[in-house]
Amino acid sequence: MVISGAPNNVASIVMSNASAIHHNLSVPVLYEHAVRRHEGKLLQGGTFAVFSGERTGRSPKDKYVVRTPDTSEHVWWGQHNQPMGAETFERLRAKAVAYLKGREIYVQDTVVAQDPHHRKTVRVITEQAYHSLFARTMFIPSESKPADHRPDITILHCPFLQLEGEGDGVRSEAVVALNLAEGIILIAGTAYAGEMKKSVFTAMNYYLPLEGVLSLHSAANVDPRTGKSALFFGLSGTGKTTLSTDPERLLIGDDEHAWTQHGIFNIEGGCYAKTIRLSKDAEPDIFEQTSEFGTILENVIFDEDTREVDLDDDSVTENTRGSYPLESLRNVYEHEVAPHPAHVILLTADAFGVMPPIARLTPEQALYHFLSGYTCKLAGTEMGLTDPQTTFSPCYGAPFMALNPTVYAELLEQRLRMTGAQTWLINTGWTGGKYGVGKRIAIQETRKMVRAVLNDGLRSVEFRRDALFGFEVPVSAPGVDSRLLDPREVWSDAEEYDRVYAGLAEKFKANFAQFRDLVRPEVAAAGP
């Protein structure tokens, strides 16, 4: 996919009109600037704490994609990619350029995609030092480019530019607008740093598949002993970061990857982990980052006097976050491209408490569940979300998929058939009853099951066929209580379990109707 580029270099225009430019500042210098500007506070260990204001999660209703002749036939238009007219975008761009004129700005020249064959340059222009630090952390730092450099992607980041809603042709005072044809991302009215990360991911989910590369909302790691890799698909809160950050394996990345005919690679250079109720025992590597220099803690509560964090305090939001460079972890994969995965894990957080904690899928079932993307959104990851909400999110990342989900499914089928990778469905949600009645499956138990999969510990165990969904559920797993593997056994009312499970199956059927005529009959028949 060739990015046409804007008729005028908007980054160069903004930089030429700035009162001061801080270009590619290092992490310590950005710390100094952020402290001096009162953007946040230093905590014990050297982390930098910030508060993002009213918006503590993504604002999906304020995200738009500019409709152009180049993009109109490709983009998956709808609630996740709301169309914006080119004229509206031009007015917003002009407003952002005028807003930044005469201001002190921070510029970071970065790249995305560890594989140099698919790399794109990203220039981030923002009015805050800590957002520049976030960009340097989450993307891949590169050398400074001249002011007239034309990057593949330009982010104009104006968190304090308040729009006029309908008067500006948008829904509210905030906007996240992607002009994919020109490679320009405009973010205004929200300081939540995750908008930058996910906007670039959305753009890469447009560019890469059009080059024949499968982009993935997934984590990935490698077994250093065998060289075998694994992929972990899942929405925020399902355990991607926690389960992939395993001291026994090397982390490739925790959220955004791509799968080519030669292997898999990380799209970004940092991690953006949820930190609420983070456990030192269950998640030691991530926990360690909450007191490390270079980590940004977003909306995390701390003691003003001691500067000690309270990771259990959700008084601002459930969606507390830690942004840290991948290289700061102990066990990291150092090469640009990793081997093809031997296992693909689809993660779901079932709030009904009826899905088995682990199931083996056929290739057709893998595609069915990949397109279904069943999970429950967890509190705080989006504005206004306070309780778990049942959702079907195609590709386990519908908010970030720029193309029709079947495009990604077709590429996934090609990769699965090419490599013979085994796919698994793992439920990190509730057991013994629905949310509010049962309890969440302990992460330690889930990790045992994941390790059994990755270490081929389930090859010789007995499996039972699920009567409703048809997938195979192990009767036993190393170190796991066998009762946990059969969710019906741990419900106090088996008949109620059957009723709820049947109800969930009907939800699957109703949701998949949108894809039934777009996939092979074998895939359409691979669900309940």
* 302: CATH: 2.170.8.10
60-104 per-position pLDDT tens digit: 999 999 999 999 999 999 999 999 999 999 999 999 999 999 999
189-235 per-position pLDDT tens digit: 999 999 999 999 999 999 999 999 999 999 999 999 999 999 999 98
Query: What is the pLDDT, as a whole number, of residue 7?
Result: 61
Judgement on whether residues 373 and 444 belong to the same structural domain of the protein: yes
Judgement on whether residues 406 and 513 belong to the same structural domain of the protein: yes
Average pLDDT of the segment spanning 40-50: 97
Residue 279 lies in a domain: yes
Query: What is the pLDDT, as a whole number, of residue 218?
Result: 97
**Nearest by Cα to 216 from 265, 153, 161:** 265
**Nearest by Cα to 357 from 507, 488, 221, 247:** 488
* Backbone torsion region of residue 262, taken as left when φ is above 0, otherwise alpha when ψ lies between -120 and 50, otherwise beta: alpha
Judgement on whether residues 464 and 493 belong to the same structural domain of the protein: yes
Residue 129 lies in a domain: yes
**Nearest by Cα to 242 from 270, 192, 279:** 279
The yes-or-no answer on residue 236 being catalytic is yes
Q: How far apart are CA 363 and CA 520, in angstroms?
A: 12
Judgement on whether residues 375 and 418 belong to the same structural domain of the protein: yes
Residue 1 lies in a domain: no
Residue 220 has which token pair?
């990935």
For 59-81, the DSSP string reads -GGGEEEE--TTTTTTB--SSSS
Q: How far apart are CA 224 and CA 231, in angstroms?
A: 15
Judgement on whether residues 355 and 428 belong to the same structural domain of the protein: yes
**Nearest by Cα to 285 from 273, 297, 269, 298:** 273
Residue 47 lies in a domain: no
Q: Show contacts of 169-172: CB within 8 Å, 24+ apart.
A: 169/84, 169/85, 169/88, 169/91, 169/92, 170/62, 170/64, 170/84, 170/88, 170/92, 171/61, 171/62, 172/59, 172/61, 172/62
**Which residue type occupies 161?**
L
CA dihedral sign, ordered 161, 53, 186, 174? negative
Judgement on whether residues 416 and 472 belong to the same structural domain of the protein: yes
The yes-or-no answer on residue 255 being catalytic is yes
- Find the angle CA(372)-CA(373)-CA(379) to the nearest 5 degrees: 135
Active-site position among 33, 55, 131, 321: 321
Last residue of a domain, one of 312, 328, 344: 328
Judgement on whether residues 308 and 410 belong to the same structural domain of the protein: no
Last residue of a domain, one of 196, 211, 226: 211
314-341 per-position pLDDT tens digit: 999 999 999 999 999 999 999 999 999 9
Active-site position among 136, 217, 257, 340: 217
Residue 316 lies in a domain: yes
Residue 12 has which token pair?
């160069």
C-alpha dist (Å) from residue 259 to 51, 212, 267, 424, 440: 35, 9, 10, 18, 32
The yes-or-no verdict on residue 286 having pLDDT over 60 is yes
Average pLDDT of the segment spanning 411-431: 97
Average pLDDT of the segment spanning 401-405: 98
- Find the angle CA(409)-CA(412)-CA(418) to the nearest 5 degrees: 145
- Domain limits at 295? 272-328
pTM: 0.94
Active-site position among 55, 123, 240, 257: 240
Judgement on whether residues 28 and 86 belong to the same structural domain of the protein: yes
Mean pLDDT of the chain: 95
Active-site position among 199, 218, 236, 431: 236
Contacts of 129 (CB under 8 A, 6+ apart): 22, 25, 30, 33, 34, 37, 39, 106
**Nearest by Cα to 335 from 253, 405, 393, 271:** 253
Residue 426 lies in a domain: yes
- Say whether 52 sits in a helix, a strand or coil: coil
pLDDT band at 388 (very low <50, low <70, confident <90, very high): low
- Say whether 31 sits in a helix, a strand or coil: helix
C-alpha dist (Å) from residue 57 to 110, 158, 286: 24, 16, 20
Q: What percent of the chain has pLDDT over 70?
A: 97
Active-site position among 115, 255, 285, 350: 255
Query: What is the pLDDT, as a whole number, of residue 384?
Result: 56
Residues for the chain: how many in total? 528
pLDDT band at 254 (very low <50, low <70, confident <90, very high): very high
Q: How far apart are CA 393 and CA 445, in angstroms?
A: 25
100-158 per-position pLDDT tens digit: 999 999 999 999 999 999 999 999 999 999 999 999 999 999 999 999 999 999 999 99
Tokens 């969440």 found at: 440
pLDDT band at 236 (very low <50, low <70, confident <90, very high): confident
Last residue of a domain, one of 211, 234, 251: 211
The yes-or-no answer on residue 321 being catalytic is yes
Query: What is the pLDDT, as a whole number, of residue 129?
Result: 98
The yes-or-no verdict on residue 395 having pLDDT over 80 is yes
Active-site position among 67, 93, 118, 198: 198
The yes-or-no verdict on residue 377 having pLDDT over 90 is no
Is the Cβ–Cβ distance between 168 and 95 less than 8 Å? yes
Query: What is the pLDDT, as a whole number, of residue 237?
Result: 80
Query: What is the pLDDT, as a whole number, of residue 389?
Result: 77
Burial track 304-343 (b if 16+ CB lie within 10 A, e otherwise): eeeeebebeebeebbbbbbbbbbebbeebbeeebbbbbbb
Residue 48 lies in a domain: no
Average pLDDT of the segment spanning 235-252: 91
Judgement on whether residues 299 and 257 belong to the same structural domain of the protein: no
The yes-or-no verdict on residue 385 having pLDDT over 90 is no
Residue 49 lies in a domain: no
Is the Cβ–Cβ distance between 83 and 77 less than 8 Å? yes
494, with CB counted inside 10 A (0-12, 13-18, 19+), is: exposed
> Based on C-alpha coordinates, what's the Rg of the chain?
23
What are the start-end ranges of the E strands in 299-437? Answer: 301-302, 309-310, 321-325, 341-348, 358-361, 374-377, 389-392, 422-427, 430-431
Active-site position among 33, 55, 58, 197: 58
Judgement on whether residues 320 and 194 belong to the same structural domain of the protein: no
Angle formed by the axes of helices 194-207 and 129-138, to 10°?
A: 40
Q: How many domains, in total, are found in the chain?
A: 3
- Say whether 134 sits in a helix, a strand or coil: helix
Is the Cβ–Cβ distance between 457 and 478 less than 8 Å? yes
Judgement on whether residues 194 and 69 belong to the same structural domain of the protein: yes
The yes-or-no verdict on residue 1 having pLDDT over 70 is no
161-184 per-position pLDDT tens digit: 999 999 999 999 999 999 999 999
Contacts of 335 (CB under 8 A, 6+ apart): none
In SS3 terms, 417-454 reads as HHHCCEEEEEECCEECCCCCCCEECCHHHHHHHHHHHH
Active-site position among 132, 190, 218, 241: 241
Average pLDDT of the segment spanning 269-288: 93
Query: What is the pLDDT, as a whole number, of residue 436?
Result: 86
CATH number at residue 447: 3.90.228.20
* Backbone torsion region of residue 237, taken as left when φ is above 0, otherwise alpha when ψ lies between -120 and 50, otherwise beta: left
Judgement on whether residues 296 and 251 belong to the same structural domain of the protein: no
For 284-312, the DSSP string reads HHHHHHTTSTTPEEES-EE-TTT--EETT
